[in-house]
Amino acid sequence: MSVHDGLSLGLKYVAGATATYWLAVFAYRALLHPLSKYPGPFVAKLTEGYAGFFAGLQRLHLVTQQNHQKYGSVVRIAPNRLVFNSAKALHDIYDNDRVVKSHVYLVTLGFTGTINVFSVIDRIAHRTKRKLIGAGVSERAMREFEPTMAGQIDIFLKQILESSRKSEAVNMSTRCKRLTMDVIGLLAFGYSMNTQTEERYRTLHGGIEASNAHNNVLMQWPKLQSRVIAYPLHYLTLSAQKQAFELIENMIKTRTAEGKDSRRDLYAQVADQLESNPEFRHSDIWSEALFLIPAGGDTTAAGISALLFYLARHPECYHKLQQEIHTTFSSSSEIHGGSQLSNCQYLRACIDEALRISSPVNGTLWRELAADDDGSRPFVVDGHVIPKGVQVGVNMYTLHHNPEYFPDPYAFKPERWLSSDEKEIRHMKGAFAPFQIGYRGCAGKPMAYLEASLVIAKLLWYFDFESAPGEAGQVGGGKAGDETGRHRPDEFQMYDVFASGHDGPMLVFKPRGNYCEELSTQ
């Protein structure tokens, strides 16, 4: 036998063995796996590549909802994953001390190799990090930080005024991202990125979104971490990610040079931990920064942009909210955190309704039983006993559009949150989780509500606005006839990159009477 024939025969054996191995794996997953009884797309039963593919297209949330409509409230979305669509499942999973984040969160460690409050799995370590971050975004901290936030909102308003004088259509996603990025930079590091007024740090948005998209694909399809397979995916986003990390590095170095006691920002609190806790490292600052900037910036921008989209398309809601703002406050100086703003119930209802229809985090947050759980008690999710090692979750987009909890789920109806039927309100709130629930719930919830409330209230105080004329006015909505789930023109479209990418709405503003004169003189 020649060398060529021997090599050929060897390759055939390898190919045959490989094919046999994968046929056996697929047969087990389809027929013998503990989850084989659960319905779902056939390909999803065989490989995580199904979810990874649609994550790459940034519409996994839409596909997940379509699968629930086809297969029911429990769907096998990957060989070892079940996704649920019920409020009972939401609480059984996320409000459960036995459950921890899935190990797939470790794929987000990226450049720093250090866990942060987002990626940490261990409950004790999470409690420590959560306490640290929570202190910086608590209601008390927000009261102290609010004047700084208000200063950035004033810059935002002045730029809207300038655009209104030119009759320019304004892309609110762009403006809101810049505003929230500047706010979170000041909160975290006392650092003025000035993205609202300068070009230097504006590329940070793109870098963060590229990093989020990259991580989301890996979280859905962890085997892509293989160096050979992952390299092309990593290469596509490497440039944007590196640029973002270099900008953040400069921000941290600048803040470090000032000394920790120069400002009472979040950095100062982390620096205190570095001095007093030997378990903390300098890389912890890096890691928390890489979490805080997108978590505190992009998600808030998504919520504000979504609400502006819906207000521009629902004039009855727009005028009702504008009336509430102008009857609650007698001057712009009164628009600040406190009882008056908290008593704007229709404003809160509008914010919640926008967060429901177009949640900033539309995906499925995977959970599993803790490794140290002895299994002496069954882990039950909405009546289903879950084997140890199986990952479970609730898809937020699907749950927030479940008509069992939210009748006419695609309609923007803030009034649903103001119902006098307490049972109905409890029923809805039990299925409403834009900031998650349980001990893993978002620590920045008070900040997000405060910032969104101030921005919307002040915009309606100073301006009238409407959708831009022509095609520009359609930016942000779905397109009739689209077959991917984006067919509703009146739904603000979110692109699932774990957090949500978004564009629009394009709005045209007009100053209200003489209200804007004080903006011009500030």
The pLDDT tens digits for 43-98 are 999 999 999 999 999 999 999 999 999 999 999 999 999 999 999 999 999 999 99
pLDDT mean across residues, the chain: 88
Instruction: Pick out the residues of the known binding site for heme.
Output: 442
Reading the block at residue 71, the tokens are 């297969």
pLDDT at 103 over 60: yes
> In Å, what is the CA distance from 451 to each residue of 178, 194, 305?
13, 17, 12
User: Does the bond joining 469 to the residue before it have cis omega, within 30 degrees of 0?
Assistant: no
Binding residues: 442
Q: Which residues contact 386 (CB under 8 A, 6 or more apart)?
A: 82, 369, 378, 379, 380, 392
User: Is this model's pTM higher than 0.85 or not?
Assistant: yes
User: Which residues, at least 6 apart from 72, have a Cβ–Cβ distance to it below 8 Å?
Assistant: 39
Q: Beta strands of 395-484 (E only): which ranges?
A: 463-467
Q: Which of 147-151, 210-214, 430-434 has the lowest mean pLDDT?
A: 210-214
Say if residue 349's pLDDT is above 80: yes
**CA angle, 321 as apex, 318 and 322 as ends, to 5°?**
80
d(Cα 254, Cα 194) in Å, to the nearest integer? 15
* DSSP assignment of 82-119: EEE-SHHHHHHHHT-TTEEE-GGGGGGGTTTT---TTT
Higher pLDDT pick, 188 / 158: 158
* Percent composition of the chain: helix, strand, coil (DSSP 3-state, to 5): 60, 10, 30
| pLDDT at position 406 | 98
Q: Give which of 289, 215, 216 is closest to 250, Cα–Cα.
A: 289
pLDDT of amino acid 236? 54
**Residue 518's pLDDT band (cuts 50, 70, 90):** confident
Lookup result for tokens 């942000």: 476
Q: With 50 as the cut, is the pLDDT of residue 241 above it? A: yes
Amino acid at 277: N
pLDDT in tens, 135-181: 777 777 788 889 999 999 999 999 999 999 999 999 999 999 999 99
Three-state secondary structure call for residue 384: strand
Per-residue DSSP letter, 37: T
- 520 — pLDDT class (breaks 50, 70, 90): low
Residue 303: CB partners within 8 Å, gap ≥ 6? Answer: 351, 354, 355, 358, 360, 434, 448, 452
pLDDT in the model for residue 12? 66
Q: SS3 for 53?
A: helix
Q: What percent of the chain has pLDDT over 90?
A: 60
- The DSSP output letter for 477 is S
Of 220-224, 357-361, 486-490, the least confident: 220-224
Residue 391: closest CA among 102, 125, 25: 102
Distance CA 150, CA 142 (A): 11
Q: What is the mean pLDDT of residues 335-355?
A: 98
**pLDDT score at 228:** 47
* pLDDT value of position 273: 63
Distance CA 498, CA 492 (A): 17
Report the candidate in 441, 432, 384 with the shortest Cα–Cα distance to residue 405: 432
Q: Please report, for residues 91, 125, 283, the alpha-carbon distance to residue 119 in angstroms, rounded to integers and kept in the order given.
A: 21, 11, 14
Task: Write the DSSP assignment of 126-145 as a string of letters.
Answer: HHHHHHHHHHHSSHHHHHHH
- 443/385: higher pLDDT: 385
Quick check: 398 pLDDT over 60? yes
Q: What is the DSSP string of 149-172?
A: HHHHHHHHHHHHHHHHHTT--EEH
* Residue range 471-484, pLDDT digits in tens: 999 999 999 999 99
pLDDT in tens, 298-318: 889 999 999 999 999 999 999
Check pLDDT > 90 for residue 516. no
Of 22-36, 37-51, 97-111, 399-413, the range with the lowest mean pLDDT is 97-111
Contact 515, 461 (CB under 8 A): yes
- Inform me whether the pLDDT recorded for 416 exceeds 90: yes
